[in-house]
Chains A and B, each alone.
Chain A
């Protein structure tokens, strides 16, 4: 064996002996959603006027109260694209893959596949900066990522307005979404923070769980096809201030006081229970959206 061979072998042994260049983890694959938590919110959709646990400010609450679910039956909004927050608010599974540089093979981006109503999330890993705050915004936004140990942290800006709960709770075009991807064996935990200076007083956090699956999750959703869902042309369904007919829906269905259902940061914390203890009335029996199947 020549000296050159020995040096090469020595270096190869050193580099391949379990010393990672960076503490990263492979996130690629099909991740099947586990929707045990917030099953109604992620499945059929939340009850109207249920914003408990949402750190609204007055502007966020007022905008949400003006929302009519029929707005998404407007022909031009049936295929309304959602922002990347739809990963948290929707029921869907994830497909993730890495995009290598064609010359170096180094990962330049991680991709989270699209759905029918959400664009793919491209998480740039090559250190590029976010665009100017005056650059165009869209529902896809602009996302960069960094590794912190085995945790991938993605930051999304440049979003258009959207919803953070599918019953009208709004997000603004100044919102930032921070998404943490954490893998535990064949399970993936994703935590998403919505930071929105326009409609929220504190960051809003939701988590999702997924199982690694051998059934492939599509990289993109099927095309959305519009149709007539009964909303007349020129009509924008909405509720004027003080006219939302569902404002006491959570009280009627579940005995939850209206002040809780209308949200606000205090509804996220344990001591809020003391405030509503004497106002809560447990229904004799669950009447709607009760699960158990």
Chain B
């Protein structure tokens, strides 16, 4: 074999090998006949968020475990307009308003002490349910397009997997992040005492899966709320949820405006 032919074969071999590794890392699966199985968000998930999870409330305790007093806004970068609205909040009027779910909208929902139940609704839709307030959020992967409609408490959420190591290559480790972007939100409260967010709000969330020192899985959700009307800068907080082995403690309860 001449040098030229062997060189070409060598480089071609490298390319073929790399392509194979790339496909493996992307999760591509070839059957015996070589036919590619279509990848779905569910089958290609780099982390498993499904199951029951419980809030671990070690931060912002006095704004989460009990309703904060009127005027208690520590930590929220409110605009003067937001301050004016929050200062007018009255717990008795709120209780009588007939809309007790204002503090259970997507930007605040994962700050509520609660349990989560996360399941795949279909191959391209991850469903997150809460017992507190009995809310449901749907995270849509792929080329899902939000239907036209009025803003809602949980808005319209698109989801993508962000894979470790860029998601390719032989060395790419398992793992990654779920990124969720939510728009078309109806205005509500970031905290139960009337700290507002508007219907101009965009919510970006990063769901990471880590382990406690004893190996128990824990979801970290970094929550970035951007609201040009009521926030001077993006409001950034992180909530953590510990994995449960069963539905123990799952206690669906209605929204409450005052507790």
* Residues 16-67 of A at the B interface (beta carbon under 8 Å): 17-24, 34-40, 50, 52-54
The reply to whether B220 and A39 form a contact with Cβ atoms under 8 Å apart is no
Number of interface residues of B (CB under 8 A): 75
Interface string of B49-66 (1 = CB under 8 A from A): 000001111111110011
B36 on interface, CB distance cutoff 8 Å: no
A255 to B91, CA, bound (A): 15
Contact digits for B133-151, partner A, Cβ 8 Å, 1 yes 0 no: 0000000000000000000
Compute how far the CA of A255 lies from the CA of B68 in the bound complex, rounded to whole angstroms: 9
| B29 CB to nearest A CB, Å | 20
Does B255 interact with chain A (Cβ within 8 Å)? no
Chain A, residue nearest B167 (CB): A23
Give the contacting residue for B14; candidates A11, A36, A193, A209; CB below 8 A: A11
Asked whether A3 is an interface residue with its Cβ less than 8 Å from the other chain, the reply is yes
How far apart are A203's CB and chain B's nearest CB, in angstroms?
Answer: 5
Measured between beta carbons, the chain A residues less than 8 angstroms from B206 are: 182, 184, 187, 189
State whether the Cβ of B40 lies closer than 8 Å to any Cβ in chain A. no
- Taking CB atoms, residues of chain B closer than 8 Å to A267 are 57, 61, 65
Instruction: Say whether B91 contacts A7, CB under 8 Å.
Output: no
Residues in A whose Cβ lies below 8 Å from that of B249 = 270-271
Pairwise interchain contact B91-A282, C-beta atoms closer than 8 A: yes
CB distance from B65 to the nearest CB of A (A): 6
Interface residues on A, range: 35 or more
Quick check: is B229 within 8 A (CB to CB) of the other chain?
A: no
B212 touches A193 (CB 8 A): yes
Inter-chain contact B177/A203, CB cutoff 8 Å:
no
Which of B66, B174, B235 is most buried by chain A, counting CB atoms within 10 A of its CB?
B66
Query: For A148, what are the chain B residues with a Cβ–Cβ distance below 8 Å?
Result: 173, 175
The answer to whether A191 touches B235, judged by C-beta atoms less than 8 angstroms apart, is no
Q: How far is the CA of A276 from the CA of B113 in the complex (A)?
A: 14
- Contacts A3-B3, A53-B57, A270-B55 given: A10-B11 contact, CB under 8 Å? yes
Q: Which of A100-156 contact B (CB under 8 A)?
A: 147-151
Query: How many angstroms between the C-alpha atoms of A228 and B71 in the bound complex?
Result: 37
How does the 8 Å CB contact mask read for A252-293 relative to B, with 1 for contact and 0 for none? 001110001000000111111100110010111111011110
- Residue A205 interfacial (CB < 8 Å): yes
Are A292 and B73 interface neighbours, CB within 8 A?
Answer: yes
Surface stretch bound by A, among B76-84, B100-108, B119-127: B76-84
- Partner among A24, A53, A189, A285 whose Cβ is within 8 Å of the Cβ of B208: A189
B166 CB–A CB distance under 8 Å: yes
A209 to B115, CA, bound (A): 23
Chain A residues with CB under 8 Å of B258's CB are: 282
Q: Are B177 and A270 in contact (CB under 8 A)?
A: no
With beta carbons under 8 angstroms apart, the residue of B61, B76, B238 that contacts A207 is B238
Contact (Cβ within 8 A) A23 B73: no
Partner of B170, one of A19, A36, A147, A284: A19
15 additional A-B pairs beyond A256-B66, A272-B113, beta carbons within 8 Å, are A6-B7, A6-B11, A18-B168, A19-B170, A21-B171, A22-B173, A36-B236, A53-B65, A182-B208, A184-B162, A254-B72, A273-B259, A286-B72, A287-B69, A290-B74
13 intermolecular pairs with C-beta atoms under 8 Å apart: A36-B236, A37-B236, A53-B58, A150-B175, A182-B208, A203-B212, A267-B61, A271-B251, A272-B113, A282-B66, A282-B69, A283-B69, A286-B70
